[in-house]
Amino acid sequence: MSFSIALTGINAATADLDTISNNIANSNTVGFKGSRAEFADLYAAQGIGISTNTIGSGVQVASINQIFSQGALNFTGNPLDLAINGEGFFRLNDNGSIVYTRAGIFGLDAEGFIVNSEGQRLTGFQADASGQVGNVIGDLQIPTDDMAPSATSKVDAVLNLDATAAEPAVTPFDPADPQSYNYSTAVTLYDSLGISHTLTLYFVKTANANEWELHATVDGTD
């Protein structure tokens, strides 16, 4: 009897070591959650109830429970890698079956779907062309086709000009002569073909207080 009781302890300790070893082996596995062995007494009882002087029959592994504590968040350099800070899982589509994971290592397949290493597609709420997120869940796909160029339609600028500035020494304004204007700044524009152009703004102080003239050229041409 004593040998069998001791044997249960050895078996339980082995299970505990196996659990710890598995935790160590997966210490660098993304999304891995460690486990902990839970133990319970063994009693060889007959009939109903256990007397107060019953000697136990050893120990058993009651369960192996996962520890859902928050792991460390790391930057990978891959813009598609994701992490969940807190509770929750990533929802994946595995050929029609829904599976869940905490591992956020993702990439793109040939069709532009966001997938993990097993080809399971990441799902989520879909957004329309205007960026509004709806309530329909589907496989997330990033278009890989070339996007049609969009011409620049507006330029926003925040300026703070010196109220004490004097009129330029040279008149009239000439973009080729820095002495004919006070300040200049340049921004890049794009036409409907996606070709870039340089918009240059020139600021010329007038004789009136707090009054400026604004001149503009695109690629050096008015």
> What are 147-171's pLDDT values in tens digits?
778 899 999 988 899 999 999 999 9
How far is 107 from 12, CA to CA, in rounded Å?
41
**Residue-wise pLDDT tens for the chain (222 aa)?**
677 888 888 988 999 999 999 999 988 877 788 899 998 887 766 555 555 666 678 888 989 998 888 877 888 889 999 999 988 999 999 999 999 998 899 999 999 999 999 999 999 998 887 888 989 899 999 887 777 788 999 999 888 999 999 999 999 999 999 999 999 999 999 999 989 999 999 999 999 999 999 999 999 887
The whole-angstrom separation of Cα 151 and Cα 147 is 12
Query: For 68-80, what is each residue's pLDDT tens digit?
Result: 888 778 888 899 9
Q: What is the CA radius of gyration of the chain?
A: 35
The pLDDT, as a whole number, for residue 49 is 57
Q: Which residues contact 153 (CB under 8 A, 6 or more apart)?
A: none
Domains of the chain as residue ranges with CATH:
2-66 (no CATH), 71-145 (no CATH), 146-222 (2.60.98.20)
User: Does pTM top 0.95 for this prediction?
Assistant: no
Dihedral, 65, 68, 71, 76 alpha carbons, nearest 10: 100
Looking at this protein, which amino acid is placed at residue 64?
A: I
104 close to 74: Cβ distance less than 8 angstroms: no
Whole-Å CA distances, 218 to 182, 203, 213, 222: 19, 15, 17, 6
**Could you give the count of Cα atoms lying within 13 Å of 38 in the half-sphere of its Cβ?**
7
